Amino acid sequence: MNTSDVQTLLAELRYYSGAIDGIDGPKTLAGVEITERNADASSAGWARRRRLVAAGQRVLNGMGFDAGAVDGWAGHNTNEALIAYRSHRAGTPSQVDRAPITDKVWPDDIPRQGDCAAYYGTPGADVQSQLSQISLSFPLRIDWNLDQTVTRISVHQRAAPQLRAALEAVHEHYGLARMQALGIDRFAGCYNHRRMRGGSKWSMHAYGCAIDFYAAPNALRMGCPEALFCGPEYQDFLDIMEAHQWLPAIRLWGGDAMHFQRATLG
C-alpha cells in the first residue's frame, strides 16, 4: 500500500479532495487524522508511513474489505483487501481458483475443508474456545515487521501438535540461519477470524488450522514457477510440512504458496 493508495481510499469517503499524487502533504495528513478521530485511535509516536497505512486499513475495514488489525503494517491481509477493493471498483471478479490439481489420497485423519465445522467447530467463539498456543524452541520473524519475533503461535488444539512437530522438524533440518536466509522463518499469520480471499466461505484461518509464511513472493494468486516456494531449496520444507499433515496450498490447488493448512480440499 503506497501513499497514492491511501489517498484514493481517503477520497472514497471524501476525507481527501486533493490530487492522487503520492505526496503525503497537509491535505493527505488531514484525511488521516479524520480516520484517527473517527476511530478514537491514537497513533502518537508512529512514523508517518505507519499512520498512512493505518488510515488505509481503517477505510478498507470500514468498507467491508478485511485488512485485518489496524496496526500500520502493510502485510498480505492489507494488500489482499486492497486488491479486493480495486477489483470492486473496476467491476472485475476477485475470485480465486482453488480447484484441486491432484487426485492424491490424503490420510483419513486429516479433515476435509467441507467437514471443518464439524471437526474444528464453528468459526467465532466456538473455535476461539479451542485455540491453544504452541511454544517453539526458536524465533520466527513477523513477515511485515522483521524487527519483531514470536516464539508462540495460536492454533486450534486439534492441529497444534502436528504444527509444532512440523516447525521443529523444519528447524532441525535447515537450522535457523538457513531458515532466515530462505525466508522460511517469516511468519505471516495463523488464526484469523475472516472469510476466504476472493470467496464467501470461512477461511481455514478462521478454524485455526492454517498458517502462512513469507507472503510477498508466495502470493495468493501466484503459482509455479513464479512463487518462491516452488524452488528446489524449498521442497524439503514443503515435504516436512506435508509429512506432519500441514498441507502446502501450492500442492493442493497450485497457488497461494505461502499457505499451509491441516485440511484437504472437498
Q: What is the pLDDT of residues 50-88, one digit of tens each?
A: 999 999 999 999 998 889 889 999 888 898 889 888 887
| pLDDT of 100 | 86
pLDDT of res. 161 = 98
| 131-142 and 186-187 beta bridge pairing | parallel
Q: Is the pLDDT of residue 97 over 90?
A: no
pLDDT tens-digit series, residues 104-124: 888 999 999 999 999 999 999
Q: How many CB atoms lie within 10 A of CB 67?
A: 28
Q: Which residues pair with 187 in a beta bridge?
A: 142, 213
Count of all residues that appear for the chain in the document: 266
Q: What is the pLDDT of residue 33?
A: 94
Q: Which three cell numbers stand for residue 141?
A: 520473524
- 26-38 helix and 3-12 helix, angle to the nearest 10 degrees: 60
DSSP 69: S
**What topology is assigned to 113-261 in CATH?**
Muramoyl-pentapeptide Carboxypeptidase; domain 2 (3.30.1380)
Confidence of residue 44 (pLDDT cuts 50, 70, 90): confident
Position 94 confidence tier, pLDDT thresholds 50, 70, 90 = low
- Angstrom CA distances, 141 to 151, 177, 185, stand at 9, 12, 6
List, by residue range, all CATH 3.30.1380 domains of the chain. 113-261
Q: State the DSSP H helix or E strand holding residue 120, giving kind and residue range, or none if neither.
A: helix 116-120
Sorting pLDDT into bands at 50, 70 and 90, what band is 91?
confident
Determine contact, residues 190/205, Cβ cutoff 8 Å.
yes
